[in-house]
């Protein structure tokens, strides 16, 4: 039976994620050291898990309200006020979702009309482009550059805008580059957004993971941007709660209202147990966030230093838990570098091309691993790079 003619064409046109390939190879080998995983290595802090367990013991096993529990909505808005100086109404401007990803999908689907252009800076998380396509949009890619520390530049944004442009995706702190956008960068972007009356989807899932004393700034806090921005965030990265599947969206009431409707029909409500745990996370988790951030920061420094030392230049990433070293000096492309690295040294990293064509010449290295693990991996990569150099010279 030919299922192709039954299946939706635009969904068939979307290709599966390219990160998987190397992970599958890695799974076949015995002593592979992986630096490819994009989630925290920490377990969810115990007091947070305990609240989830406690809710089960008390028999809290029903659906939550569509938007999420009132206590959680209140805590989310309190958190955004205290951390990022942004005030949202818990009853009208907040929606709890199944991870940040659902919120991104909802925002695309309620905002995009067929043919609308969605500007997506790359390298970036693999879901924006396919989700935009599946919502009927036309992705327009901006390549951010190493020499700009992979920040989005206002001129590049301006050049990408057409009369059909509706939405800008702002994925910072960035996966896979580790780039952040500081206030002055955002002010430049905001000018262009306002001039062209665009909307912004600000994916702030890594907002707690910024380093070097730089706190995350939300573009929604820039003058005139509050009414143009849908903020996406969640518990996965900041509280090491990936498996709980809990995120949220904050934004103008009319947009959140439509997203809530879609969420109501498609999902009904986010997981109840996870919401009880998340309330505890927001109330009493600040110390855990700091502890994990400090630990990531040390690993980050070690890994950046390691790559620069072995001759793979690596700009200093100030966010998330990835470094994005340039491997052009080896003479290999990203895919070949990664394939040979895993075959010859059994170390798995992800080719930059998985996050957009402009990622060629780079690899994504996750430092969401123990220091011990990172040291062994760096040593193996160092050997690999040295052997490549000898090969090129010989």
Partner 1 sequence: MNKLLQLLSTNSQFSTAELSAMLGEPEDYIKAQIKEYEMKGVIKGYQAVVDWEDIDDSHVEAMIELKVSPKRETGFDDMAQMCMAFDEVESVYLMAGVYDFLLIVKGESMQDIAMFVAKKLSTIDGVISTGTHFILRRYKDRGMNLFEPDKQADERSLIL
Decide: 157 and 187 in contact? Cβ < 8 Å. no
- Comparing CB distances to partner 1, the nearer of 137 and 306 is 306
- Comparing CB distances to partner 1, the nearer of 35 and 86 is 35
Regarding 238 and contact with partner 1 (CB under 8 A), the answer is: no
Instruction: In the chain, count H helices and then E strands.
Output: 13, 12
- Comparing CB distances to partner 1, the nearer of 40 and 251 is 40
Regarding 126 and contact with partner 1 (CB under 8 A), the answer is: yes
The span of 2-10, 224-232, 268-276, 304-312 binding partner 1 (CB under 8 A) equals 304-312
The angle formed by the CA atoms of residues 283, 230 and 280, to the nearest 5 degrees, is 10
- Comparing CB distances to partner 1, the nearer of 41 and 71 is 41
For partner 1, the binding residue among 60, 196, 293, 301 (CB under 8 A) is 301
Regarding 305 and contact with partner 1 (CB under 8 A), the answer is: yes
Minimum CB separation of residue 87 from partner 1 in Å reads 33
Secondary structure string (H, E, C) spanning 248-279: EEECCHHHHHHHHHHHHHHCCCCCHHHHHHHH
The CA distance from 182 to 337, in Å, is: 32
Site string (127-166) toward partner 1, x via CB under 8 A: x---------------------------------------
Regarding 306 and contact with partner 1 (CB under 8 A), the answer is: yes
For partner 1, the binding residue among 154, 302, 326, 332 (CB under 8 A) is 302
Site string (27-66) toward partner 1, x via CB under 8 A: -------x-xxxx-x-------------------------
Regarding 371 and contact with partner 1 (CB under 8 A), the answer is: yes
Burial (0-12, 13-18, 19+ Cβ within 10 Å), 211: buried
Regarding 20 and contact with partner 1 (CB under 8 A), the answer is: yes
The CA distance from 199 to 169, in Å, is: 9
Decide: 222 and 183 in contact? Cβ < 8 Å. yes
For partner 1, the binding residue among 254, 298, 357, 392 (CB under 8 A) is 298
The CA distance from 330 to 63, in Å, is: 54
Minimum CB separation of residue 323 from partner 1 in Å reads 13
The span of 17-25, 108-116, 192-200, 328-336 binding partner 1 (CB under 8 A) equals 17-25
The CA distance from 303 to 211, in Å, is: 14
The CA distance from 48 to 294, in Å, is: 19
Give CA 322 to chain center in angstroms. Answer: 11
Decide: 117 and 138 in contact? Cβ < 8 Å. yes
Q: By CB under 8 A, name the binding residues for partner 1.
A: 17, 19-20, 23, 34, 36-39, 41, 125-127, 294, 298-299, 301-302, 304-306, 371-372, 375
């Amino acid at each position: 039976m030919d299922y192709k003619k039954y299946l939706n064409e635009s969904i068939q046109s979307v290709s599966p994620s390219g990160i998987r390939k190397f992970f599958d190879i890695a799974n076949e080998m015995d002593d592979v050291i992986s630096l490819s995983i994009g989630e925290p290595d920490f377990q969810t802090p115990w007091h947070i898990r305990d609240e989830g367990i406690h809710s089960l013991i008390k028999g809290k096993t029903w659906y939550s309200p569509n938007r999420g529990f009132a206590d959680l909505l209140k805590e989310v808005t309190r958190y955004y006020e205290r951390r990022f100086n942004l005030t949202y109404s818990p009853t009208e401007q907040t929606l709890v979702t199944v991870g940040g990803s659902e919120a991104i999908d909802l925002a695309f689907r309620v905002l995009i009309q067929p043919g609308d252009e969605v500007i997506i800076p790359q390298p970036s998380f693999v879901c924006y482009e396919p989700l935009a396509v599946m919502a009927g949009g036309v992705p327009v890619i901006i390549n951010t550059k190493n020499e700009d520390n992979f920040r989005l530049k206002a001129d590049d944004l301006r050049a990408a805008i057409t009369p059909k442009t509706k939405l800008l995706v702002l994925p910072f702190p960035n996966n896979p580059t580790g780039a952040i956008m500081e206030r002055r960068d955002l002010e430049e972007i905001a000018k262009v957004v306002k001039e062209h009356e665009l909307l912004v989807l600000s994916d702030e899932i890594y907002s707690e993971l910024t380093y070097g004393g730089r706190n995350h700034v939300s573009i929604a806090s820039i003058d005139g941007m509050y009414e143009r921005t849908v903020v996406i965030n969640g518990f996965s990265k900041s509280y090491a709660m990936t498996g709980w599947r809990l995120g949220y969206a904050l934004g103008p009431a009319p947009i959140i209202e439509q997203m809530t409707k879609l969420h109501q029909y498609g999902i009904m409500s986010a997981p109840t147990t996870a919401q009880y745990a998340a309330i505890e996370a927001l109330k009493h988790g600040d110390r855990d966030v700091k502890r994990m951030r400090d630990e990531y920061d040390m690993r980050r420094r070690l890994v950046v230093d390691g790559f620069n030392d072995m001759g793979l230049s690596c700009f200093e990433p100030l966010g998330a838990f990835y470094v994005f070293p340039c491997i052009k000096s080896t003479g290999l492309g990203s895919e070949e570098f990664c394939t040979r690295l895993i075959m010859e040294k059994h170390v798995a990293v992800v080719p930059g091309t998985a996050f957009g064509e402009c990622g060629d010449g780079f690899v994504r290295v996750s430092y969401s691993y123990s220091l011990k693990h990172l040291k062994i991996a760096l040593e193996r990569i160092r050997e690999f790079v040295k052997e490549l150099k000898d090969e090129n010279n010989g």
